[in-house]
Chains A and B, each alone.
Chain A
């Protein structure tokens, strides 16, 4: 902003109202409000539809539909139009960016579904389906991404659409993505995460100007970064023998360029879950690395996800999550069924690695 313009617009600044988390009750469907904390049971009359019955006997039907998460105002208004015409003017979003429309009568469900589908919003994501992939920001908006997030998700959901609109998986399948190696993504039955393959290349001319060197040195999980003088200027150096290519030094110091069109790859992890149902929550485990970061549709990633997903669908028992299925059949069989390779890189080398080894004489043949 120019000085003149700044002066011109100078008014008493408005003090913010620090209201924090908005109260949801003014926005909540009246039946949800009325029966708050007093629900008795639910069932699912068809994929994409939940039917909840309250202790009062009130019933509410919820129709769930997928969205692209990154929505333009026209898409949101279209969803609002559908909500006003075919539902009752109240919606909510799930953690995985699906939208839910609540109605007080089953009669309203078919038209609602029809109109959502006609406008291109797939109805599903309930029960034992593959729900929307939870995703991050990527090239669209993050300052450190190794790949795009929305594009990977769109490509995969085009393929997974058939499983989103059905409930034919052994249990729910929750897929996540992360467009850098260390930040936003969560644990998933299948996780598609960036995996860098080369240490950062340092632009020494810029380090001195833009980086707080102690902060960068402190960020490295393996203490591979040292202050160094390069061409008479203070800079940093990386011990490439130690470096685990995590990219943690890149956010505090953009001259530590970790991304490269050829060195930024994708890895696939399986068997993570947050839910406590049956087994304890678990972290996902590496199964494939070095898949090419291949926009706009990442076909190599799609192929591996498909293999894993359908091996699970075919072989798991009802209610086994991905990780629980593998726990039962064993990793040798998993690699066999999915036709994937087991390498030295699957052997953990991080703190606590010993606890990931087979400390027994139990062997799967």
Chain B
């Protein structure tokens, strides 16, 4: 048994809420909880005047759903959902939350369960334990109705009957499980091919856009990239041992439908290196339909790099060297324009939400990684591994990789992960004169060497496959 498994087994030990029941109760005036008798659920049904107001209106109501679960005759979760509604109404009344964390896990794993213990369990005992199982969805969020039904059946038997598709983490959130049932629910889900996602200081669940499955903008196989990377590091997902969380996200093009650039430490965003494909007949058809003025104002003039020009005969001229693959013109004219053939992805590193230094956008680390052959995908996995390793060894506790890079400076980071500086990494070179440049000449030599080598190595992929 590996050391990691050892740790995990210990973590999966007895369940102890880490905070004693406390704080909020002392600070708020308790407005009490009203009950109404209803023998359907065998106990008094909580009245929920606030929540009831969220049942009207045209949008589907989660409250109606919660009530449906509460009113399910004979279901094990009905009493739990009655008290859950009671507690939620209590929150709506007092404008405070009443959950606290703790430690709950399943055998063999150190993470993946979000424990929730009620601070007002005396009033709402049936939902005193209401844990969430974070479960990794199939890449691209595809489901058959058959497998969805199986997921429902499992959750109906062991959980609350409440599932979120999906949480902000990208997981299927099976919300509302007792400590005792957590293992059973996991075992049943695991038997049909589902596995827990990440929580705590660990590699987290990833998401990928629909991409190759149904989108002509897609520049690489998102499913392959997503599964190759994540499934290589399952240990890092299941046994939290990193300084803090680390997230990968996969978008097939610059439209970034899964918000990788800001929500991922390691964003894989599709792009292409050769010229975009233009169907001039379709361009003409588009211009004919919307008119020259509209086409110029809304396509040509909106190109961020002035890469487009509309010819007098309504065909399009593209300056592919100026184009930054922003996707605007392709989005507006999806029939006329398509990405080129030499496809791959850009890797951006360091995106994150506010804690602790403020929101960070990922920044360009690898402008182009070809993603066409098996070896290309292996190289992606290798880079991912290198990045994770660097993070594990160098980040301070509770520091995200973007913050680490800011702390040590990009040059030191690049040196550590073996990436060479590239002008695509910056909006512009430094403006500050506070830098020591005594080895500038040697560094410049290296740059010219690299360029020579890159030019030599930049063969079209077809040639490589033919070898």
Contacts and interface: CB of A to CB of B under 8 A. Distances in A.
Contact of B326 (A67, A68, A185, A278): A278
Interface string B127-139: 0001010001111
Contact of A183 (B206, B210, B355): B355
A73 B156 contact: yes
Contacts of B256: 274-276, 281
Contact of B214 (A1, A25, A39, A259): A39
Contacts of A275: 254-256, 327
A365 to B, nearest CB: 23
B216 A52 contact: yes
B179 interface: yes
B17 to A, nearest CB: 10
B451 interface: no
A1 B179 CA distance: 9
Contacts of A142: 97, 99
Contacts of A60: 214
B163 A89 contact: no
Interface string A272-304: 001111111101000000000101110000000
Nearest to A121: B60
19 contacts: A18-B238, A33-B213, A42-B334, A90-B142, A91-B143, A91-B145, A92-B143, A93-B141, A95-B257, A120-B60, A142-B97, A146-B97, A148-B91, A187-B359, A219-B355, A219-B356, A261-B94, A276-B325, A296-B54
Interface residues on B, range: 35 or more
Contact of A14 (B63, B107, B231): B107
A362 interface: no
Interface of B: 15, 18-20, 22-24, 26-28, 50-51, 53-54, 56-63, 65-66, 68-69, 88, 91-92, 94-101, 106-109, 114, 116, 130, 132, 136-149, 151-152, 155-156, 161-169, 173, 175, 179-180, 183, 186-187, 190, 193-196, 206-207, 209-210, 212-216, 218, 221, 223, 226-227, 230-231, 234-235, 237-238, 254-263, 269, 297-298, 302-304, 324-328, 331-332, 334-335, 338, 353-359, 361, 397-398
Interface string A88-100: 0111111101010
Interface stretch (A106-114, A154-162, A330-338): A154-162
Nearest to B253: A276
Contacts of A84: 145
A161 B58 contact: yes
Nearest to B156: A73
Given A23-B227, A259-B97, A154 B145 contact: no
Contact of A16 (B190, B193, B260): B190
A32 B51 CA distance: 40
A26 B359 contact: no
A94 B137 CA distance: 12
